[in-house]
Structure 1
């Protein structure tokens, strides 16, 4: 369904850098160097908007892509280019450059944003956050200052069932901002000794 417009979009936008596409949102996300800035869905190219460009897109008659999640409509930041835009590929490229810049800035903001809740840290979920709260650790700052070993011990004391070692690696990874599987075997041995 979206393949002809996807192929044409990839050809046109390839001048912006290393281009790729991935299946998502019922269509295909378009990426330059791992930054998604466009979406091809419903036989249309959609470009990412920002607070600055959203009104411009609306004034030009662009429509946002809307999909359903659990029966409710979700309005995305991606706006469909009308068919007549394809008569002026240079105009599409100009707007794509802006969309790519917006996407890169948003990606940077996400990288530097501090998680506000424990469940937002790597490896941790809402269930882990609840376990930590029950153990008296309520914030990201408290978890970091307590440390993985002491947080693990606190969970062991307040949790009725067995707590696996994987939780200890998950807490250590969360504090360091990495996935638990990359916690080195040396670090794991050291953490076990501290227990």
Structure 2
């Protein structure tokens, strides 16, 4: 059975964010992961867009009362993704203004993960 194409909402998001690079949507957990040049920086769940946040860009979302993505309504788990303001969905330039810090947050997370992996590899080689 062929994969179902992304919704019109997801396709429009990818098209709008294409100025960032090679933006693609991939089905995951009943929604979509949105990646740029292979790095996931956004999610779409229930036709709601969420951008990656970290200590650097979280305050901008919090200042507007934008709540974190909670994958399970009956559990307190929150992921480090928050929506942009509704106005950004109507303005491509504003959406890009919210997407760029999310992509930067994803790059920082990937760099930290690589650094942590190298430290573990060095520790393992010393132990051997």
TM > 0.5 fold call: yes
Which segments of structure 1 move beyond 2 Å, counting only runs of 4 or more?
Answer: 81-85, 143-147
| Structure with max Cα Rg | 1
Q: 1:76 aligns with which of 54, 76, 79?
A: 79
- TM, length-normalised to structure 1: 0.55
SS at structure 2 position matched to 1:73: coil
Q: Which runs of 5+ in 1 are unaligned?
A: 116-120, 122-139, 148-195
- Name the CA distance, whole Å, in 2 between partners of 1:6 and 1:21: 7
For the pair 1:53 / 2:57, whether they are aligned, the reply is: yes
Counterpart of 1:99?
A: 102
Q: Kindly tell me: are residues 25 and 73 of structure 1, through their superposed partners in 2, closer, same or farther at Cα, counting changes over 3 Å? A: farther
Aligned positions of 1:86-125 closer than 5 A: 86-113=89-116, 114-115=119-120
| CA contact 1:5–1:45 (8 Å) conserved in 2 | no
Structure with greater helix share of residues: 1
- TM, length-normalised to structure 2: 0.81
Q: Shift of residue 87 of structure 1?
A: 2.4
| CA contact 1:39–1:45 (8 Å) conserved in 2 | yes
Q: Which has the higher contact order (CA 8 A, sep 6+)?
A: 2
